[in-house]
A and B are shown apart, each in its own frame.
Chain A
């Protein structure tokens, strides 16, 4: 492989990995703080993408649609937490799995009912629709670079919030010891609602910003969910730092495997996961 193309592939891998991080961070955050495994996390990715499609068409502005879609996702998150998840804190993981599987069914039905089953696409916003020439033949879409910058920005933002704010302190406390948070005199119910809504919104945001570079089809949520699981398991459940490292790892490995090991490329990330688990059953960064 030529050096320049190797670098392009590396860029592809990092860019894919960063997007994976955006989805996985929400899942791992919710698990870390609340101990809830939300299988409907991927559905929120799908809902985010469809919402931005809908509002972009309605308002003629991608950016306005992003804001509206994010707000709706957050409201959905609050509703789900307040009315459903709230009953599950004292129950075991099995009930959580089941309830969130039920949610997947409902979201899929809603998607099919509202938007139909034809593949849909969202236009790249005018501002970012150009490409940059990087080798004699390959151009790189500016929007994809923007995505990477955005994901890195969000990662830095999360890092800042977690390490420097009161909310972050509670999140850290929640990750290490849930009972302790209650003793801190924090209203745990509110904290959980906020964290769940944020987690869900992160997933929806990932769907929203990737809408212009993916096609909107039924079942897109489940596919993301499974990749997301791999990331979270490799990184260590509940560890946001782990999710970041693992997402990049998965993105890069997947990208190179699809070129270098075409026969077994879809298995590669699972093999990677199995290998890591043999040596580190709790993932790379257990929290």
Chain B
């Protein structure tokens, strides 16, 4: 059986990564667009991790940006100030550290569900936001700077220069690809089978002998680590972190993007990010009151586009999901 849930997904994924590979060549004169798209790729990882949790595990969170921000902060805090560190090593550190934090946080938030979980995740994210915003040692509201970008050698081989926009772009693209593959593979695995079962009917899954708390916790930790990885990449892109990375607006707009793209589809995250960000960019340049148009758009989307853009495409292309 194919890993793709639908023909639409297959077509989209191939087209997307094919086009994405050529972006830096196309914009070779203009680093702005390469940077902008890198940011969108990073956001896609973040939103995809959110979709894993919300769309597939059935746990709604309004505080996911907490891990996005933590990814950046953990890195900024852990690195020695005047030393170039290894990218891969710190990728591991950041993801492991945020995983441990997610384990503890998950232990609290997963005791609740539904509307409670929405509010508790939100409140915990605010708490973390204030922790950094009020701190003196972590730069307060002004955030922290990362002065030296890490080097990326593996076994002495160095083929990526993070200061080069194009190299960084490909790193983001590769990361997104890995993230997508990981999400798809794990959701198609035995673990994924249980996750799907728990999302659809937690009561039944419990009666069949699954400790749903453990599965949710694992999913929460995974998703949070991925979000932290996205935040880590973001902090690398421009070399700074700021508490607003974990503000509730970031969590809310990520949710909007996930739903716009098509909840539970994983690939919809990419769609959601690119459509939302392009609209934001476009509307913002046209009117001072972009918030009004964004708000209206979101409401229309909720009322009319029930399964997101991915659902729309699947209807058009055919090959509905099984």
Contacts and interface: CB of A to CB of B under 8 A. Distances in A.
B126 A226 contact: yes
B298 A98 contact: yes
B118 A97 contact: yes
Contacts of A99: 298-299, 302-303
Contacts of A31: 115
Contacts of B123: 226, 229-230, 233, 270, 273-274
Contacts of A233: 116, 119-120, 123
A28 B48 CA distance: 32
B302 A37 contact: no
Given A226-B126, A277-B112, A113 B119 contact: no
Q: Chain A at the B interface: mostly helix, strand, loop or mixed?
A: helix
Q: Chain B at the A interface: mostly helix, strand, loop or mixed?
A: helix
B127 interface: yes
Nearest to A228: B119
Nearest to A274: B108
B292 interface: yes
B256 interface: yes
B252 A101 contact: yes
Contacts of B54: 94
B37 to A, nearest CB: 25
Interface string A86-114: 01100001110111011111111110110
A105 B120 contact: no
Contacts of A110: 292
Given A31-B115, A270-B126, A98 B259 contact: yes
Interface string B287-303: 00111101111110111
B292 A109 contact: yes
- Counting chain B residues whose Cβ lies within 8 A of the other chain, the interface size class is 35 or more
B289 A112 contact: yes
Interface stretch (A13-21, A56-64, A189-197, A259-267): A259-267
A106 B294 CA distance: 8
B263 interface: yes
A93 B122 CA distance: 14
Contacts of A271: 127
Given A93-B60, A233-B123, A277-B120, A105 B248 contact: no
Contact of B295 (A103, A267, A274, A283): A103
B213 to A, nearest CB: 12
Given A233-B119, A271-B127, A105 B111 contact: no
B11 to A, nearest CB: 27
A200 B116 CA distance: 21
Interface in A149-181: none
A132 interface: no
A125 B48 CA distance: 52
Contacts of B145: none
B255 interface: yes
A232 interface: yes
B298 A37 contact: no
A127 interface: no
Contact of A93 (B112, B118, B259, B298): B118
Given A93-B114, A97-B60, A277 B108 contact: yes
Contacts of B134: 263-264, 266-267
B191 interface: no
A278 interface: yes
B42 to A, nearest CB: 22
A283 B248 CA distance: 22
A97 to B, nearest CB: 7
Interface in B95-148: 108, 111-112, 114-116, 118-120, 122-124, 126-127, 130-131, 133-134
B300 to A, nearest CB: 8
B127 A267 contact: yes
A236 B62 CA distance: 18
A263 B114 CA distance: 33
Given A270-B124, A273-B123, A106 B295 contact: yes
B111 to A, nearest CB: 5
Contact of B256 (A101, A103, A229): A101
A111 B301 CA distance: 23
24 contacts: A31-B115, A37-B115, A94-B54, A94-B60, A97-B60, A97-B62, A97-B255, A98-B259, A98-B301, A99-B303, A101-B298, A102-B297, A102-B299, A105-B295, A108-B295, A109-B290, A112-B291, A233-B119, A233-B123, A271-B127, A274-B120, A274-B123, A278-B108, A281-B112
Interface of B: 54, 60, 62, 108, 111-112, 114-116, 118-120, 122-124, 126-127, 130-131, 133-134, 248, 252, 255-256, 259, 263, 289-292, 294-299, 301-303
Given A102-B298, A278-B111, 10 more contacts: A37-B118, A93-B118, A94-B54, A109-B295, A237-B116, A266-B133, A266-B134, A270-B124, A274-B108, A281-B116
**Considering the complex of A and B, which 5 residue pairs feature the smallest CB-CB distances, nearest first?**
A105-B295, A102-B298, A270-B127, A109-B292, A106-B295
